[in-house]
Chain A
Amino acid sequence: MTLEILEPGLSTTVQDRGRFGHYNVGIPQGGSMDQLSAEIVNALVGNSLEEAVLECTYLGPKFRTSEPAVIAVGGAPVDVKVNGATAPQWEAIELAADDEVSFGFLQGGTRYYVAVRGGIDVPLVLGSRSTYALGALGGYLGRKLAAGDEVPVGDTASGDVLTGIAPELRPAFPAETEIRVLLGLYDHRLTASGLATLLDSTWTLTPVADRTGLRYSGPQIEWKAREQPFGAGSDPSNIVDAGYAVGSIQIPGGNEPIVLHRDAVSGGGYAMVATVISADMDQLARSAPGTKTRFVAVTMEEAVAARAEGKALRRSIWG
């Protein structure tokens, strides 16, 4: 069976849990930006959590099913329409052949996910179906969807369709958020007041936010002046090009911190000063431009404990 794409939306891509093991040659992990939402919609239609879904950004696609299908939509709040009639989010939806699915405007957040029972069945590339558009790799022909595409859907789903998901398990999309970070990497290159500015300010997410990273506006952050080491660039925020941790925060020139996300470049010449803990990467991805954000420093022990809480939450969904 296929989904025939009538309108592609702004940026609709095939994503799964990500592509690991090739970061050393610059191939990013990719995968659904908001993993929890993607996992929940997979659970709702009875897929395993490895199955690929459609990630829709701001303006969603319009598509037609070639055969009867079961889908679920979750993530950022949006009106779901089947043949023009409103359908629920966070619930399995049964479709007949030739049903048309479309979406209204987002009411918060940035991305929502469409799971189809059987999973989006594009070929595995380096162990993943995720789209890496810059490298024209994975996903549907290595790119975001276009009108006329016929997106294949698998015919094997092992689990039962769920009736719904408890409201308290659904992710929230607040206009203000706290993101936990672990200081480190090159934080010693900031002055004490520069570090305090990072942690004590409320940052506003700019429209420069996509799968590669999120840029925040706020006050200037002060770097320590120094004579730059050989091979590093001329600015105090420059280092000899190094690998970038996913979730790390860089502050080129002391202006507008950038948090790297799943499709970020794998390395570069800007010093990183902190890294978003793994448990908060989904929450970060849910931010819409304008979201007021505070970066809260935690310890490694707290980061590991938060990660364990996330795992417990997932167990309550998946059993």
Chain B
Amino acid sequence: MSDTLSADSLKGTARYTWGGDEFLFVEISEAMSLAANFKSNSMATRLGGRALPGVTEICPANASLLVRFDPDVLGAAELEAATREIEVEVDNTTHPVLNTRLIEVRVWYDDPYTRETAARFRSGHQRPEGTDLDFAAEVNNLSGAAEFIRRHHSSPWLVSMVGFVAGLPFMFQMVPREQQLEVPKYLSPRTDTPPLTVGHGGCFACIYSVRGAGGYQMFGIAAAPIFDPAQSLADFKDFMVFFKPGDIVKFRPIDEDEYKIIKGQVEAGTFVYKQVPVTFDLAEALGDPESYNTKLLENLNDS
């Protein structure tokens, strides 16, 4: 990808620093890129694989990694040394791949729930007239909301981080940087966001897992849950949070009728996500993103 960092340019460049006596913070890169996220994720996986006594949380993020440890069990210097070793291992991986899954997420774009919420918080918005979609189209020099929506669901997105609140995925669009949709956050955060709102801030998409405050622009609403503390649906049988870092998401636009059908399936407990296992190849994805994405998304059609 033209101006996206390559994996090579990130070798040995991570910055190690401490968040008090219980957190090691590793900044892979100041800037967001697929390669930085890939490295963070790979380091997290390898660190988890070592099962070091005293490591209590391993949290890969967009372009950084946060590790929590118990200093009574594992010394800070020891943890840093182990993590630096893992960084070298990851840097020396000749052909980095990620075994993950491709998931279809059905979205009712320009839905009445987010439209109503956006209208309530219109004063103080960058574009007080119109909708968040109109604003997003405008700042991306697109012909209108319909064109923005098309661009939003035509390419895959990588779940680059899960968090903020329980189960919320941050997603990074797998296209060259100049094609990425970028939209500023709200000038002042909202106190309310409908659950399952598909949002966007900076270069990141998200799906709000719970109702609450939020600052991302709102484009639509996902039909099926992504956080299910009651674990009533099959996809949540093992864990109440659906998304994992490294998941790849394909949005599919739906209308009100299909939205209602899915809601019915969710209520009946029969809904399952369409998903297929895939292997994500960083070099191929960076080399020829367009044909790589086409090939990747075919997996979903075949299933």
**A136 vs B209: C-alpha distance when bound (angstroms):** 11
| B174 within 8 Å of A (CB atoms) | no
**A247 vs B19: C-alpha distance when bound (angstroms):** 8
Q: Which residues of chain A from 15 to 61 have any CB-CB distance to chain B below 8 Å in the complex?
A: 20-27
Number of interface residues of A (CB under 8 A): 52
**A240 vs B209: C-alpha distance when bound (angstroms):** 20
**A69 vs B10: C-alpha distance when bound (angstroms):** 61
**A135 pairs with B227, CB closer than 8 A:** yes
One of A232, A240, A245 near B25 (C-beta < 8 A) = A245
- The smallest beta-carbon distance between A251 and chain B, in angstroms, is 15
Given contacts A23-B68, A137-B166, A240-B62, contact A303 B210 (CB under 8 A): no
**A241 vs B185: C-alpha distance when bound (angstroms):** 13
Contact residues in B for A126 (Cβ distance below 8 Å): 240
**B20 pairs with A134, CB closer than 8 A:** no
**B212 pairs with A241, CB closer than 8 A:** no
Identify which of A102-110, A114-122, A191-199, A266-274 touches chain B. Answer: A266-274
**B59 pairs with A24, CB closer than 8 A:** yes
- The smallest beta-carbon distance between A25 and chain B, in angstroms, is 4
**A244 vs B17: C-alpha distance when bound (angstroms):** 13
Q: Which residues of chain B from 195 to 244 have any CB-CB distance to chain A below 8 Å in the complex?
A: 201-204, 209-210, 212, 227, 229, 240-241, 243-244
**A25 vs B168: C-alpha distance when bound (angstroms):** 7
**A296 vs B163: C-alpha distance when bound (angstroms):** 30
**A278 pairs with B21, CB closer than 8 A:** yes
Given contacts A26-B163, A230-B203, A232-B30, contact A242 B20 (CB under 8 A): no
Contact residues in A for B62 (Cβ distance below 8 Å): 231, 240-242
**A114 vs B21: C-alpha distance when bound (angstroms):** 30
One of B20, B33, B161, B203 near A247 (C-beta < 8 A) = B20
Contact residues in A for B27 (Cβ distance below 8 Å): 242
**B22 pairs with A278, CB closer than 8 A:** yes
Q: Which residues of chain B from 220 to 279 have any CB-CB distance to chain A below 8 Å in the complex?
A: 227, 229, 240-241, 243-245
Nearest-CB residue, chain A, relative to B245: A24
**B212 pairs with A232, CB closer than 8 A:** no
**A27 vs B60: C-alpha distance when bound (angstroms):** 14
Q: Which 8 A-B pairs have the closest CB atoms?
A: A245-B19, A231-B32, A243-B66, A275-B20, A26-B163, A229-B31, A245-B23, A266-B163
A246-B20, A267-B59 are known contacts; what are 8 more A-B pairs with Cβ within 8 Å?
A: A25-B163, A25-B166, A26-B167, A182-B20, A229-B31, A242-B61, A248-B20, A304-B71
